[in-house]
């Protein structure tokens, strides 16, 4: 999902973002936190499934602006940057989540 457009929050859960992938499919993600690293904002999400209780992966997106100055998200693929963002997320949320 290299480039995503934000479709907005769902009515049932305001923490769920509906993102539009490169194929035009709507993919729900639950927003966990927003972290600022080196002046850029990164959104930490998990794939949203209201029936799944175990989280197996997270997704990290950089908050950008598209050509029309609309908010859009791009997935962070740089392993070093992902590690820095994840470590900051863990520090900020040590009491909220079980990090194993």
Q: Delimit the domains of the chain by residue range.
A: 4-92
Low-confidence ranges of the chain (pLDDT < 50): 1-4, 9-10
Tell me, what's the pLDDT at 7? 52
Structure tokens at 24: 């035009």
Unique residue bearing structure tokens 């934000």: 6
Tell me, what's the pLDDT at 11? 55
The model carries a pTM of: 0.76
Tell me, what's the pLDDT at 12? 63
Give one DSSP letter per residue of 30-48, joined into a string. Answer: EEEEEEEETTEEEEEEEE-
Tell me, what's the pLDDT at 68? 83
Q: Cα(6)–Cα(4) distance, rounded to whole angstroms?
A: 6
Structure tokens at 11: 């009515």
Tell me, what's the pLDDT at 94? 85
What is the CB neighbour count within 10 angstroms for residue 21? Answer: 14
Tell me, what's the pLDDT at 2? 41
């Amino acid at each position: 999902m290299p480039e995503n457009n934000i479709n907005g929050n769902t009515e049932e859960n305001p923490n769920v973002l509906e993102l539009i992938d490169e194929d035009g499919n709507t993919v729900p993600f639950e927003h966990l936190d927003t972290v600022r690293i080196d002046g850029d904002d990164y959104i930490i999400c998990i794939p949203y499934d209201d029936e799944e209780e175990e989280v197996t992966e997270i997704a990290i997106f950089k908050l950008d602006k598209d050509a029309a100055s609309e908010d859009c998200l791009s997935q962070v693929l740089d392993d070093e940057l992902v590690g820095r963002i994840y470590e900051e997320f863990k520090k900020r949320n040590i009491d909220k989540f079980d990090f194993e």
